Chain A
């Protein structure tokens, strides 16, 4: 099959060819502008901002807002499993405890706080879910009510023989409110995303002093 330039060279010039070339150019231009517009639109909508930014470091003595919750870290300590807010730990097990004040910022009572703190510690298996207790009367994972700050304790059981760390690194996770979810069209909190990294010094025993008054 002959290549197209040779094929074309056989043709005699006629005004229609120019018209053809013009429409071809137009098509290229339209396609080019369309692509550029699409890339620009994607850029404006943040498609290129989704690369991994380094996670912000959160000050321990600060208030951290996570959408649903306002957190005020109080202290982190390691302790024996006995009399630890009535939490059912294995006998003789040690635990890492983070105490913090949590305020429900939403308009409804909720207990959607299981994923707010995630321990990055090598000593804590990521699959270990913490027990979460109300320090006021050791109720396990109660609903917290709008606008009422409560002290809560996150308690991770440590594996046997684990070394007690001097520092506990946590990732704080927020969620975003959607007026209508994509499945049912009902309001809710979705899309967990990290707010930042929080590093707390780990004291020994429940008498550790609070980080902030």
Chain B
């Protein structure tokens, strides 16, 4: 009887141990996830293959772009955020292809795909010793502009590779629900 009871206790202990291991171990996704390199607006954030420095953040209601020689105004249901960044490669030439805007609530906005034809957008090829400027353009809800994080990585599945995480800091929101510095139309045809 005692033996049986002891067996049952042992079994239960093993089950709870296994469950505890399963529940507490990091998941595969966490293990192979990107490795963050953190910084603030204006800092140079150094990753494994590239460096990035976010210079300015601008907000606009519309963007003016050139498409095949025509001027075109791109509207949005939210607000455009344009981040001007400077990239540099470290030891060898590389390509930086992916950027997202993570709002305060965790909503993640990928770079817009509506300007695929414009200059100075990702993907950007960078070479060591030749820093290059680029624009990261996002289409956001206006309530996601404040305390956001800019995520930049070389490729989409940046498993076990660096991802720059740049805190963009608080942004005041005006009475119209937009940041006070929001311009009506931002000209993307201007050189960066």
Contacts and interface: CB of A to CB of B under 8 A. Distances in A.
Do chains A and B stick together as partners?
Answer: yes
Interface of A: 107-109, 134, 136-137, 139, 142-143, 145-150, 180, 184-187
A135 to B, nearest CB: 11
Nearest to A108: B108
Interface in B27-86: 27-29, 72, 74-78
26 contacts: A107-B106, A107-B108, A108-B107, A108-B108, A108-B110, A109-B110, A137-B74, A137-B114, A139-B113, A139-B114, A142-B112, A143-B110, A143-B112, A146-B107, A146-B109, A146-B141, A147-B141, A148-B77, A148-B78, A148-B139, A149-B77, A180-B29, A184-B29, A185-B28, A185-B29, A187-B29
B178 interface: no
B interface bracket (residues with beta carbon within 8 Å of A): 20 to 34
A147 B76 CA distance: 13
B140 interface: yes
B26 to A, nearest CB: 10
A187 B77 CA distance: 28
A187 B107 CA distance: 15
A150 B114 CA distance: 13
A100 B76 CA distance: 17
Contacts of A145: 78, 109-110, 139-141
B100 interface: yes
B51 to A, nearest CB: 25
A57 to B, nearest CB: 30
Interface in B134-192: 139-141
Contact of B28 (A108, A136, A143, A184): A184
B77 A150 contact: yes
A95 B28 CA distance: 45
Interface of B: 27-29, 72, 74-78, 100, 106-110, 112-114, 139-141
Contacts of A148: 76-78, 139-141
Nearest to B27: A185
Contacts of B78: 145, 148
Nearest to B75: A136
Given A137-B72, A145-B141, A184-B28, 12 more contacts: A107-B108, A108-B107, A108-B108, A109-B110, A136-B75, A136-B77, A137-B75, A145-B78, A148-B76, A148-B78, A180-B27, A180-B29
Nearest to B29: A186
A137 B73 CA distance: 9
Given A146-B108, A147-B141, A186 B77 contact: no
A185 B114 CA distance: 32
Contacts of A136: 75-77
B112 A107 contact: no
B75 A109 contact: no
B106 A143 contact: no
Contacts of A150: 77
Nearest to A183: B28
Nearest to B73: A137
B29 to A, nearest CB: 5
Contacts of B112: 142-143
A150 B29 CA distance: 31
A137 B29 CA distance: 36
Nearest to B116: A139
Given A136-B75, A148-B141, A186 B28 contact: yes
Contacts of A185: 27-29
